[in-house]
Chains A and B, each alone.
Chain A
Amino acid sequence: MTAATAPSQGRFQRLAEDMRRSETRWAFLFLLPWIVGFIIFTAGPMVASLVLSFTNIGLRRGFEFVGTANYDRLMHDPRVGLALGNTAFYTILHVPLAMAFALLLALMLLRVGRASGFFRTVFYLPTITPYVAVGALWLLLLNGQVGIINQALGAFGIDGPNWTTDPNWIKPGIVLMSLWSLGSTTVIYFAALRNVPLELYEAARVDGASAWAQFRHITVPMISGALFFTLIVNTIASLQVFDQVFTMYFGRSNATAGDRSALFYVIHLFNEAFVNFRMGYASALAWLLFIIIMIITFIQIRLSKRWVYYEND
């Protein structure tokens, strides 16, 4: 036995020993439904799509391996660049704004005492509204001529833009719409805020710390775990936004401006897969998105070491 194999043999030995314990066996038994579901509904299709990305499979067309042709194609597809740019624009705006507003709402919830339950429900309701209904509703709210948003801006003397028909304002309009459903992020922050020990604030007040200093040096570090989690989840979700945007700009035959401005990556992928039925190419697009999401998430995790505080650190 060499030194190189000794550690791995030790690991397997430990695993084998663990499995002999009935506790471990029961744990895996309870995990089995999720593991089976994961293999069948997630891992399996992912492997299948990876294989398909190297073929030109389409509707009623046989299975022919084409090597990296799909990946070459996406590198030269101008709509991929457009879709990635639109998606990145949306993500960069949406994620920080969503986190900031959700934190603001959560801080406000802390102050209302017993009424927090009612307001928590109110804030969460938009999250459970069907996305298609949200898209249709916001088309009216954001209408540049008669929508409520511009009427409200008009009350402050601001001539609002054409959020739904001006190519330059379509994406900001979509970001605005996305800030409506912050319920789940707010609830997470609210729970995290309630877990911050009050003694820390008392000690800080005794030392003469201002409200801002308390927020910066106590609140944010203590809820940084929740902030980090929502950063990851919201980033991933933003990079895959589809439902509302498709309803607003691709579900109508007379839609005009949104065709380019609102072409988000998953919409382009959907069109290639289910409109043009170029499944192989769509699979390649899906894997490109997966790689991008992985890289971004990896960077976020690496950077988290600088600002995320865990109590047992």
Chain B
Amino acid sequence: MALLRARGGAGLLALLLAVTACSSGSTPSPAGSSGGGGGSPAASGGGGSQSAGAPAIQASGELNVMGFDCTKGDDIATNRIKDFKSQYPDVTLKCAEGGLNDQQFLTAVQGGSPPDLIYMDRGKIGTFASKGAIQSMDDCVSKAAIDMANFRDAAVKQVTFDGKVYGIPEFFNVVVVVIDNKVLKDAGLTADDIDTSNWDGLKAANEKMLKKNGNKISRIGFDPKLPEFLPLWAKINGVDIISDDGKTSNLADPKVAEALTFARDLVQAHGKASDFFAARDALSADFFGAGNPIAKDVLGGFPIEQFFLNVMAGSSPNVDITVKAPKAKDGSDVTYATGLTWAIPDGAKNKDAACAMAATMTGKDAWIKASQTRADQRKNDKKPYTGTFTGNKAADDEIFNKIVDLSAMPQFADAVKNTVAVSDKAFGVPPAGGGTEFEKAWRDAVNKVLNEGADPAQALKDANTTAQQALDSGGG
């Protein structure tokens, strides 16, 4: 009490400074990590293309890696790490636990003690490169003799910014449409009725598949997966949300508004958007387990990254599903690709070891070995192996033609076949300086449309202004 009675500004200031420092919530702590998970995600993954034999690049010393947990990842990750260690015995690997924490990484760069290598979401290449947080890997590509032509086109575009390569791609997660055949039957529909190129048909199918009692939704019809898949719906409607060079926002294009309107209508067929999203959260509580929404028959269909095939194969192999490629309105197959990448931060001390690791981890041989080991292990466990989507065409060919055997699970065999086939038709959002703010702008627009009833065209027009400012300023 005496302290509270301290006279003068000094006493009050001291109290306030002390209390401000002590009060909870005063220290922001990043609650989520973004970018790649520690080790490989549940998805199958991407690869590189170096041939077997002596390493093309010499490396030794300590190698600090952030964003890739070298000890706790899955077998696809740990087997490739073993490969790297055997090829580079003089490199001491030190990996930070957990996935890449953007704030931790950027703070390390700003503080002058960056890691030597990071493992990150390809979608952030533009943002990190424009801020100078990562450096061009053109030198690494030529030193390690990495042939970028062996990677999927969409993946290479996602790691190329201002004409320079900033990452070596790993994994190639493409979006496919997963349909629950039991729900279809129950609604009197067939798989042909779920066609992303036929919007009137899809709307009708959505209404037939959904089930609700008042505002309680017990089954979602077709989930368009907003806000995250707006770029896919726009592409289905024949337009990209951003130019190829990542410098011009196309959010104001009427076709983007049409796509958003259509996807919004799919949501609002279920009632209020808030009811839909609450139901989606509730029905997806065990999304990665045996209680996933397809296994529980509480979701008719949705576009989802192909890692979900692995989830279902492992946790609910008896699901009755059809998996097809999204179709654009012009009838062509189209899909949206994302994935991870290795990148070298600005100021990295051991660039050679970083390059060596990136090259080895994405090497075709490493991928083949790791995939074969996984396939053998899954066979022993009597579980299916749905393949690893590496992002490297040669590795993918060998994995899916020689290693993956789903003859005992014809539904998953068809699903994987369709997924592999559509991988060549994938597109990705090109890297852009200001990419984070650009994404925020269109996500905000989608949220306003869904939650505040905003007009899609106007919301996107407003977002376009903000987005273009972000692209012009490069996120500064």
What residues make up the interface of A, taking CB atoms closer than 8 Å to B? Answer: 38, 41-43, 46, 58-61, 131-132, 135, 139-140, 143-147, 159, 161-162, 164-167, 169, 225, 232-233, 236-237, 240-243, 246-247, 250-254, 256-257, 259-260, 266, 269-270, 273-278, 290, 293-294, 297-298, 301, 310
Contact = CB atoms under 8 A, between A and B. Distances in A.
Given A143-B281, A240-B26, 20 more contacts: A59-B131, A59-B133, A60-B346, A61-B476, A131-B31, A143-B278, A145-B282, A165-B274, A166-B272, A240-B24, A243-B25, A243-B31, A246-B31, A259-B443, A259-B444, A266-B25, A274-B28, A274-B103, A275-B436, A276-B436
B452 A237 contact: no
B343 to A, nearest CB: 15
Contact of B273 (A243, A253, A256): A256
B89 interface: no
A12 to B, nearest CB: 15
Contacts of B30: 274
Contacts of A277: 106, 110, 131
B424 interface: no
B272 A132 contact: no
A60 B132 contact: yes
Interface string B64-95: 00000000000000000000000000000000
B450 A256 contact: yes
Contact of B275 (A144, A237, A269): A144
B149 interface: no
B409 interface: no
A140 B293 CA distance: 16
Interface string B441-454: 00110111011100
Contacts of B274: 144, 161-162, 165-167, 169, 257
A225 B3 CA distance: 13
B23 A237 contact: yes
Contacts of B16: 293-294, 297
A257 B277 contact: yes
Interface string B280-324: 011001000000000000000000000000000000000000000
A165 B102 contact: no
A269 B27 CA distance: 11
A167 B451 contact: yes
Given A167-B451, A236-B23, A301 B12 contact: yes
Interface string B19-38: 11101111011111000000
B408 interface: no
Contacts of A256: 226-227, 273, 277, 446-447, 450-451
A297 B28 CA distance: 22
Task: Give the 7 A-B CB pairs with smallest separation, nearest first.
Answer: A251-B32, A144-B278, A60-B132, A166-B274, A162-B274, A274-B103, A165-B274
Nearest to B281: A143
Contacts of A61: 476
26 contacts: A42-B18, A58-B476, A59-B132, A60-B110, A61-B476, A145-B216, A145-B275, A162-B272, A162-B277, A165-B274, A225-B1, A232-B19, A236-B19, A240-B24, A241-B25, A242-B25, A243-B31, A246-B32, A256-B446, A257-B451, A259-B444, A266-B28, A273-B28, A278-B476, A297-B16, A298-B12
A132 B109 contact: no
B114 to A, nearest CB: 11
Contacts of B4: 301
A294 B12 CA distance: 9
Interface in B78-136: 102-103, 106-107, 109-110, 131-133
B279 interface: yes
Interface residues of B, number: 58
Interface of B: 1, 4, 12, 16-21, 23-26, 28-32, 102-103, 106-107, 109-110, 131-133, 215-217, 225-228, 272-279, 281-282, 285, 346, 436-437, 443-444, 446-448, 450-452, 475-476
B282 A143 contact: yes
A273 B279 CA distance: 34
A297 B9 CA distance: 13
A58 B31 contact: no
B118 to A, nearest CB: 14
Contacts of B228: 253-254
A274 B101 CA distance: 10
A310 B3 CA distance: 13
B285 to A, nearest CB: 7
Given A145-B275, A274-B106, A233 B447 contact: no
Contacts of A241: 25
A257 B282 CA distance: 16
A36 to B, nearest CB: 14
Contacts of A225: 1
Q: Name which of A132, A254, A260 has the most chain B CB atoms within 10 A of its CB.
A: A254
Contact of A310 (B1, B131, B451): B1
B121 to A, nearest CB: 10
A269 B25 CA distance: 13
Contacts of B444: 259-260
Contacts of A147: 282
A167 B18 CA distance: 35
Contacts of B110: 59-60, 277
Contacts of B215: 159
A132 B1 CA distance: 34
Nearest to B5: A310
Contacts of B437: 276
A276 B475 contact: yes
A164 B25 contact: no
A60 B345 CA distance: 12
A143 B275 CA distance: 10
Nearest to B101: A274
Contacts of A169: 274
Given A165-B273, A256-B227, A274 B102 contact: yes
A159 B278 CA distance: 14
